[in-house]
Amino acid sequence: MNAWHNVWTITKRELGAYFTAPLAYVFIVIFLLLCGFFTFFVGGFFERQEASLVRPFFDWHPWFYLFLVPAVGMRLWAEERRVGTIELLLTMPITAWQAIVGKFLASWLFLALALALTFPVVLTVNYLGDPDNGVILTAYIGSWLMAGAYLAISCITSALTRSQVVSFIISLVVCLFLILAGFPPVINVLEQVAPRLVDLVTSFSVMTHFEGFQKGVLDSRDLLFFLSVIGFSLFTTSVILRTHRAG
């Protein structure tokens, strides 16, 4: 019980810290503007003439998160290392995993808030037609899990360096690989060059596993993929921090 109390204390502190700086508000505004613009103007929402958010709205989320989530996660540990407060944090009466989970949950809840603020898009599509809101809810869950996977990867890169810029670039590259592994043009090339590797490569793609959520299907394999990425990334972060503490 005390362990989860420590986690929740860190979560509240970190979540509050987001809103004391302009970055949180800038992130939310940019994310909402991108969602609205790409859904209604670039995604061809009106041209499709159907009450659905699967293609015009959720198709863009992997690309939005590619830039915005590393921008949120780059400060998690890099900032602590830069100002020297990581030593203080790691000597407090909390374990490394409590600090890691607390920081991660704070950022993940912040991303959930940004995602929830896109509700006007859902209201609009319900006003204009009769969509399957169960499919929309499932896609939202998948989107949040995907954001969590991106964020967990950013935790690793943030723990590796004191520079937020370096953390941002490395996490962007890794997340880009997770997108391109399931990107149709890349799959087409693999089918011609190395057809035996197609299934292996696409199994590592967020696009492949997010597609099921977009269709309204809660597949245990897709859930396991995103949760495994999160769990493995947080474990790797703990190893890096223990090494830092030992050093």
Q: Residue 112's closest CA among 65, 156, 74, 54?
A: 65
Tell me what pLDDT residue 77 has.
76
Q: At what angle do helices 164-180 and 206-214 cross, to 10 degrees?
A: 70
Give the number of domains in the chain: 1
Domain extent for 68: 2-246
Query: Using an 8 Å Cβ cutoff, are 96 and 237 in contact?
Result: no
Mean pLDDT (the chain) is 85
Residues of the chain with pLDDT under 70: 1, 43, 49, 51, 79-93, 244-247
Q: Read off the pTM.
A: 0.89
Which two three-digit tokens encode residue 110? 């912040």
Q: How far apart are CA 96 and CA 113, in angstroms?
A: 26
Tell me what pLDDT residue 10 has.
87
